[in-house]
Amino acid sequence: MDIDYVCERIDEEKLVNIIADLIRIPSHSDVPGQEGEIVGFVNDLLLEWGIDATLQKVAEDRFNIIVKMKGYNGGQSLALNGHLDTVPPGEGMKQPYHPVVENGCLYGRGSCDMKGAVGAMLYTLYLLKKCEVRLGGDLYFTAVVGEETGGTGTRSLIRRGFRSDYAVVGEPTGLDLVISHKGVLQLEIKIRGKAAHASMPECGVSAIRAVSDFIQRLEKDLVPRLHQRIQKHVGAATLNFGVIQGGVKVNTVADCCSLQIDRRWVESETQAQIISEIEAILHEVCNKNPALKPEVISLIPSDGYFGPFAISEDHRLIRFAKQAMNMVEKSPRIAGMQCWSDAATLMKAGIPTVLLGPGSLAQAHTNDEFVELNQLVDAAKCYLALTSVICGWR
């Protein structure tokens, strides 16, 4: 079967309509049932096309969708991975679930991150079925839940034994081949002090002041060191102070203050090192007064890997991906991505993975989220070509 023959049968209107239907279904953590409705929709769509799917229970009323299109001669297998959940719409987002096509772009919550890629992956399966393509190796489609809230679905997928020779995660890369991103560690720092009346602050020990000292010490002593720790394609390790809360009344010395930190880390670091560095500075600050009691709490799930992702540009998968994109007249660019993704979980499990999807990360999670229509078509072509190169067609 010729790749051009199948790509010529791409119907942009049908592809866009599939993605628009996905956008119409709210699927974020604030929705009752979360991804329940969209899982049902995708499952019904696959059944309509004559494609068998399995629902894998992740939590109560939450399911991953797994499709296996079986190869005929035991060739190499490929998994197309995409998440069904989105972040909630922002307060300024008008009609987030009413998709609009305007100026060559599709607007709506999830259009970019990442219902555009999920729709292109679904359409890939549809075309393979419609054109009666015989695959040499197995092709998987894994539509997962909970990526935006800790990578829940893909972690469950791996724990339950899912394996494939290669994987593609459809995060918005602008159709660049993303081979690197940082890890993430989120920590809550709590400092307890001693309450007192504000008219006699010398009788208390302010936890707010202690946290302020801690922040200043991190900025002075740690952040300059982070600037020296570089990962190819993504740059230096970073530190962000995201949330701070403390005190109960303006006329009371605050006896408790908490600070939430987002720490993006690179290959040359370890999670133990990161925590140790932060704890050392925290204890230096709190040791100045025995009334100060510090605590460090991890805010990420303990049963997953949230470290950096990297795959060599010389890896066979990247050579396959370049070959596939050239087949559909795309010039692949190697790049990195700043945010964390399920690619790290897959790679840690021994599945060579690359990130490739339509849309720009700059549009993800924004109030005017959109994806370009031509990138949706090109994404479908790239996914088709990848199945041809890796699985083999007949």
* Protein fold of 3-181+308-391: Aminopeptidase (3.40.630)
Longest dimension (CA), the chain: 83
Give the pLDDT confidence score for residue 94 in this predicted structure.
86
Q: Can you spell out the DSSP letters for 291-328?
A: T-EEEEEE-S-TTS--S-EE--TTSHHHHHHHHHHHHT
What is the crossing angle of helices 373-386 and 116-130, to 10°?
A: 50
Q: How many whole angstroms separate alpha carbon 184 and alpha carbon 142?
A: 23
Question: What pTM was computed for the model?
Answer: 0.94
Query: H or E stretch including 330?
Result: none
Count of H-run helices and E-run strands, the chain: 11, 18
Give the pLDDT confidence score for residue 73 in this predicted structure.
85
Q: How many whole angstroms separate alpha carbon 337 and alpha carbon 179?
A: 8
CATH numeric code, 183-298: 3.30.70.360
Give the pLDDT confidence score for residue 1 in this predicted structure.
74
63 near 53, Cβ under 8 Å?
A: no
Give the pLDDT confidence score for residue 158 in this predicted structure.
97
Do strands 137-144 and 75-83 pair parallel, antiparallel, or not at all (unpaired)? parallel
Domain boundaries, the chain: 3-181+308-391, 183-298
Q: Is the peptide bond before 114 cis (omega within 30 degrees of 0)?
A: yes
Give the pLDDT confidence score for residue 74 in this predicted structure.
82
Q: How many whole angstroms separate alpha carbon 268 and alpha carbon 337?
A: 17
CA 341 to chain CA mean position, Å? 3
Residuewise pLDDT in 10s, the chain (394 residues): 789 999 999 999 999 999 999 999 999 999 999 999 999 999 999 999 999 999 999 999 999 999 999 999 888 999 999 999 999 998 889 899 999 999 999 999 999 999 999 999 999 999 999 999 999 999 999 999 999 999 999 999 999 999 999 999 999 999 999 999 999 999 999 999 999 999 999 999 999 999 999 999 999 999 999 999 999 999 999 999 999 999 999 999 999 999 999 999 999 999 999 999 999 999 999 999 999 999 999 999 888 899 999 999 999 999 999 999 999 999 999 999 999 999 999 999 999 999 999 999 999 999 999 999 999 999 999 999 999 999 999 8
Give the pLDDT confidence score for residue 25 in this predicted structure.
98
